[in-house]
Amino acid sequence: MGIVNRHQLILEKLQEDGSVKIKELSDSLDVSGVTIRKDLKLLEEKNLLFKTSGGASLSNPYMNERPIIEKAGLNSEEKEKIAKAALSLIGETDSIILGSGTTVYQLARLLRPQKPITVITPAVNVTLELCNRPNIEIVQLGGIIRPNSSSVYGSTAEKTLEDISSGILFLGVGGIDLDFGLSITSLNESTLNKKMIDSAQVLVVLADSSKFGKRGLGRVCNLDQVQYIITDKKVPPGIVKALREKDINVIIAE
């Protein structure tokens, strides 16, 4: 197989799955790993992919910290659709945890329960959105506030969560990687997110398609701890297939 055909197949695989592995490409294209590495280097120089450890990604897999105001304007239409889809999972649950993040905040904006519900949250903007709404009791976790997320972190919030058992955790993340799992840019918040996962019976991840194939500094959990991921229709079908093979319920918000 010539180099042009090889590159075309590599790019087609990337479009399908969002990422590729050197070993898998080497086996399927019947060439050495050295050849694949050279191919990936050439394609990266043409700005067609990003090289990663052991493979390549369609988008830059490493996240940068951004202010919450800037993040709120990114993929806003997709985030609202994801939030609407998340509402149907609440059902008769009498308590939920709402994490930080702009997609979870969209869920808070839409939340208007007909029956009383308790909302536990580290996010100050979520509390401000919900504090005067009927049928909602707020448990605001305390701690140090991070301006970039409007969320608290620290031992005070973590200790409060030790005495809480909630039905569903709706969690926003910075990255979803099939190998690395869920991650965010802050180590402090990743520790709090782990505590929230321990306090909930069901973990629902709200993430638009730009979060897939990304890694942040702080890992939150492995994918085997996730029951649901709600995302938009732009996520590569290969990633959806891989997640469902891990027994994760993937909901595509329309």
> 78-101: buried (b, 16+ CB within 10 Å) or exposed (e) per residue?
bbbbbbebbeebbeebebbbbbbb
Burial of residue 32 (CB within 10 Å: 0-12, 13-18, 19+) is exposed
Residues 47 and 159 occupy one common structural domain: no
Rounded to an integer, the average pLDDT of 161-184 is 94
The encoded tokens of residue 52 equal: 């990663």
- In this prediction, residue 186 has a pLDDT band, given cuts at 50, 70 and 90, of confident
Looking at residue 214, its pLDDT comes to 85
Residues 145 and 52 occupy one common structural domain: no
Rounded to an integer, the average pLDDT of 75-80 is 87
Is 235 within the bounds of a domain?
yes
Looking at residue 75, its pLDDT comes to 66
On the question of pLDDT at 170 being above 90, the answer is yes
Residues 103 and 34 occupy one common structural domain: no
Provide the 10 A C-beta neighbour count for residue 73: 8
Rounded to whole angstroms, how far apart are CA atoms 58 and 72?
A: 23
- In this prediction, residue 56 has a pLDDT band, given cuts at 50, 70 and 90, of confident
Least confident of 19-28, 55-64, 109-118, 224-233: 55-64
Least confident of 35-39, 62-66, 239-243: 62-66
Residues 23 and 134 occupy one common structural domain: no
Please say whether the beta carbons of 190 and 183 come within 8 A: yes
On the question of pLDDT at 70 being above 80, the answer is no
Residues 45 and 121 occupy one common structural domain: no
Question: For position 35, which CATH number holds?
Answer: 1.10.10.10
pLDDT digits (tens, 9 = 90+) for 87-126: 999 988 899 999 999 999 999 999 999 999 999 999 999 9
197 contacts: CB under 8 Å, gap ≥ 6: 169, 171, 203, 220, 221, 225
- Which of residues 36, 57, 78 is at a domain's end? 57
Looking at residue 182, its pLDDT comes to 96
On the question of pLDDT at 230 being above 90, the answer is yes
% of the chain exceeding 90 in pLDDT? 69
Is 151 within the bounds of a domain?
yes
Query: What is the Cα Rg of the chain in Å?
Result: 20
Rounded to an integer, the average pLDDT of 126-148 is 94
Q: Looking at the 3D structure of the chain, how many domains does it have?
A: 2
Looking at residue 148, its pLDDT comes to 77
Amino acid at 104: V
Residues 148 and 75 occupy one common structural domain: yes
On the question of pLDDT at 62 being above 90, the answer is no
Burial of residue 64 (CB within 10 Å: 0-12, 13-18, 19+) is exposed
Give helix 237-245 / helix 3-17 axis angle, nearest 10°: 60
Domain holding 10, by residue range, is 3-57
Closest CA to 202 of 240, 170, 244, 160: 170
- pTM of the entire structure? 0.76
Average pLDDT taken over every residue of the chain: 90
Residues 163 and 246 occupy one common structural domain: yes
Is 62 within the bounds of a domain?
no
Looking at residue 110, its pLDDT comes to 97
Rounded to an integer, the average pLDDT of 18-24 is 88
